[in-house]
Amino acid sequence: MTQKWNIESLAEDLIKRSKQGELANKEGKLPSENKMLNHYQVSRYSLREALNKLSKLGYIYKIQGRGSYIHDPQYQGTSALHSNLGYREDLAMDGKKIQTVTAKQRLVSLDELDFFPGNQEFSTDQKFIEILRYRSLLNKPYLIERSYYIPEIVGDIPEAALYGSMFAYLAKEKKLKVSFIDKFIRCDLLTSDQAQFFHLDKGMPTLAVRDDSYLREGQLMAFSKISYDYRDRTLYMHKKIDE
């Protein structure tokens, strides 16, 4: 007996097959819409609605003119946030902006990384541009940002760029536009250097936000960890309601 699919059950089966590696080809590309319609025997509307659900949950992303690709941000020990979670790292509120107090960069090897992006493998000789920034808000210590950029993608980064918005610089000067970002939130413990900046004791909690930033083609451009003074940080959640 042929299974009758509704949008919810179709989306669940697509997710199941994507996790099992049965849905996409070796490049992660999904079959054409016509092939999936033939496989499931559903209406074009039902298929598109199911794929929209996968897109909103972060399982797939679309590249204009090329199709849809698997992007599974579900890593062991994490829970999916079924909404858009927003942050204002480059805060502009009543004229108050985050200021970079000190910044430095260096080229590092794979074994020098302080953390790694999710679901990403590198060759043993891969190099990274490490950028460390200490930032304040209203002249008070606010966050510490450690980021790793892929040099083959971003090229050289001038010192002046470290004191503004990195993404704005890369978009304007390098024509690199981030398409989507995976964010992971957890509680870490302050190191000695971090504690000194925040005027706290070593081992006290810090709210840590991990970012993996991807270009339109699904290519990882950078991965970061931002550590906040837990006493001053507020997160907000923005959920888009379809009309």
Please indicate, yes or no, if residue 89 is contained in any of the structural domains: yes
Residue 185: what are its φ and ψ, rounded to 5°? -115, 135
Instruction: Identify the pLDDT of residue 73.
Output: 59
In whole angstroms, what is the distance from residue 188 CA to residue 202 CA? Answer: 11
User: Would the pTM of this model clear 0.85, i.e. be above it?
Assistant: no
Instruction: Identify the pLDDT of residue 88.
Output: 42
Instruction: Provide mean pLDDT across the span 12-18.
Output: 89
Please indicate, yes or no, if residue 149 is contained in any of the structural domains: yes
Please indicate, yes or no, if residue 175 is contained in any of the structural domains: yes
Which CATH number belongs to the domain containing residue 119 in this structure? 3.40.1410.10
In whole angstroms, what is the distance from residue 212 CA to residue 119 CA? Answer: 10
Looking at the fold, whether 178 and 116 belong to one and the same domain comes out as yes
Query: Which tokens sit at 235?
Result: 């997160």
In whole angstroms, what is the distance from residue 22 CA to residue 4 CA? Answer: 20
Q: Beta partners for 189?
A: 205
Instruction: Identify the pLDDT of residue 81.
Output: 57
Instruction: Provide mean pLDDT across the span 179-193.
Output: 92
Looking at the fold, whether 65 and 91 belong to one and the same domain comes out as no
Q: How many domains does the chain have?
A: 2
DSSP run (H or E) holding 96: strand 96-97
Residue 141 amino acid letter = P
Residue 121 amino acid letter = E
Please indicate, yes or no, if residue 77 is contained in any of the structural domains: no
User: Which of the pair, 137 or 191, is modelled with greater confidence?
Assistant: 191
* Percent of the chain predicted with pLDDT > 90: 55
Residue where a domain terminates, one of 48, 70, 92: 70
Residue from 66, 71, 59 nearest 15 by CA = 59
In whole angstroms, what is the distance from residue 117 CA to residue 9 CA? Answer: 31
Q: Beta partners for 127?
A: 109
Please indicate, yes or no, if residue 75 is contained in any of the structural domains: no
Domain that holds residue 66: 7-70
**103-144, pLDDT tens digit by residue?**
999 999 999 999 999 878 899 999 999 999 999 988 899 899
User: Which of the pair, 78 or 174, is modelled with greater confidence?
Assistant: 174
Instruction: Identify the pLDDT of residue 200.
Output: 95
**44-98, pLDDT tens digit by residue?**
999 999 998 888 777 888 887 888 888 765 555 565 555 544 444 444 444 567 8
DSSP state of 32: P
Query: Which tokens sit at 76?
Result: 């062991």
Looking at the fold, whether 89 and 66 belong to one and the same domain comes out as no
Instruction: Identify the pLDDT of residue 187.
Output: 92
Most confident of 18-27, 73-82, 148-157, 176-185: 148-157
In whole angstroms, what is the distance from residue 52 CA to residue 36 CA? Answer: 14
Cβ proximity of 212 and 220 under 8 Å: yes
Instruction: Identify the pLDDT of residue 89.
Output: 46
Most confident of 58-62, 167-171, 229-233: 167-171
Instruction: Provide mean pLDDT across the span 26-54.
Output: 92
In whole angstroms, what is the distance from residue 222 CA to residue 172 CA? Answer: 17
Instruction: Provide mean pLDDT across the span 225-229.
Output: 92
CA 162, distance to chain mean position in Å, is 20
